[in-house]
């Protein structure tokens, strides 16, 4: 794909705010669009990168869904995050120069490739870009705090309710339905992320369905009663709930 095609695609991309600050001049827009080196397609089950790979790029997700995982000391895979369109991947490699996790596509996915050295130069010379990068890093820190609070303070029903509400919020933010969506991850992957057994995830989802809060048909989810889900986490301190539902 040539650069001019990339520029048109970037300017018209409805997810461009994931990698570009607002309030840009035309000259700044042209320069920011030059940050994107190329696009990369990853088939379902393939890795965007692996733990130990050299850190070189950040990856805004254009299409698809991915998970990040780390390997525990006893050889078990631990899911640490899920990523969807409009979110940025790769911050884990900035400090050490190598990636600390595997990132795997849960469906056919397309990402933009932004070389970090280009982004660093832009962040240094353009105040708006520097501020945007700091905001992205801050959101990542808040997300990590939210996950720790979720795992440390919530029971199984609260964790699942918060997780579904978080997905609903993230889908709505990107212009999709907040009440009807497809779970790209398996129940085992949800359990790994939330610190729950597979059987517990299935049991709680069935309970939510029985209570009329949601409808689950394999991976298809419809939320009938979001207020009911919120009431499940209402006993948790407000700061915990807000951090858990923060957009990543």
With bands split at pLDDT 50, 70 and 90, how would you rate the model's confidence at 181? very high
pLDDT tens-digit map of 134-169: 787 777 777 776 666 666 678 899 999 989 998 998
Are 16 and 57 found together in one domain? yes
**How many separate domains does the chain show?**
2
pLDDT above 60 (res 48): yes
Please give the pLDDT value at position 247: 46
pLDDT above 80 (res 9): no
Are 119 and 170 found together in one domain? no
Are 208 and 96 found together in one domain? no
Are 119 and 7 found together in one domain? yes
Domain assignment of residue 147, yes or no: no
Q: Which of 18-22, 45-49, 87-91, 185-189 has the lowest mean pLDDT?
A: 18-22
Are 11 and 66 found together in one domain? yes
Are 79 and 187 found together in one domain? no
Are 121 and 7 found together in one domain? yes
| Residue where a domain stops, chosen among 125, 141, 164 | 125
Write out the DSSP string of the chain.
Answer: --HHHHHHHHHH-TTGGGTS-SS--HHHHHHHHTT--EEEEE-TT-EEE-TTPBP-EEEEEEESEEEEEEE-TTS-EEEEEEEETT-EE-GGGTTTSB--SEEEESSSEEEEEEEHHHHHHHHHH-HHHHHHHHHHHHHHHHHHHHHHHHHHH--HHHHHHHHHHHHHHHHHHTTS-SSEEE--S-HHHHHHHHT--HHHHHHHHHHHHHTTSEEEETTEEEES-HHHHHHHTTTS-HHHHHHHTS--
Domain assignment of residue 136, yes or no: no
> Which range of residues forms the domain containing residue 109?
3-125
Considering 98-107, 124-133, 147-156, the range whose residues carry the highest mean pLDDT is 98-107
Q: 180: domain CATH number?
A: 1.10.10.10
């Amino acid at each position: 794909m040539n650069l001019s095609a990339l520029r048109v695609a970037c300017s018209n991309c409805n997810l461009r705010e994931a990698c570009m600050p607002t309030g840009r001049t035309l000259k700044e827009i042209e320069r920011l669009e030059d940050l994107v080196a190329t696009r990369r397609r990853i088939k379902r089950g393939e890795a965007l990168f692996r733990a130990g790979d050299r850190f070189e790029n950040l990856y805004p997700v254009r299409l698809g869904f991915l998970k990040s995982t780390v390997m525990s000391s006893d050889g078990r895979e631990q899911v640490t995050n899920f990523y969807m369109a409009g979110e940025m991947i790769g911050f884990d490699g900035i400090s050490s120069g190598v990636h600390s996790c595997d990132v795997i596509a849960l469906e056919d996915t397309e990402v933009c490739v932004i070389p970090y050295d280009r982004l660093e130069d832009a962040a240094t010379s353009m105040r708006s870009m520097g501020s945007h990068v700091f905001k992205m890093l801050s959101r990542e820190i808040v997300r990590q705090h939210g996950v720790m609070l979720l795992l440390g303070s919530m029971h199984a029903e609260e964790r699942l309710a918060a997780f579904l509400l978080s997905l609903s919020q993230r889908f709505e933010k990107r212009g999709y339905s907040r009440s009807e969506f497809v779970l790209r991850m398996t129940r085992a992957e949800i359990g790994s992320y939330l610190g729950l057994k597979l059987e517990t995830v299935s049991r709680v989802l069935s309970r939510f369905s029985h209570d009329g809060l949601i409808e689950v048909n394999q991976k298809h989810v419809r939320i009938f009663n979001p207020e009911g889900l919120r009431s499940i986490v209402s006993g948790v301190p407000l700061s915990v709930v807000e951090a858990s539902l923060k957009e990543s």
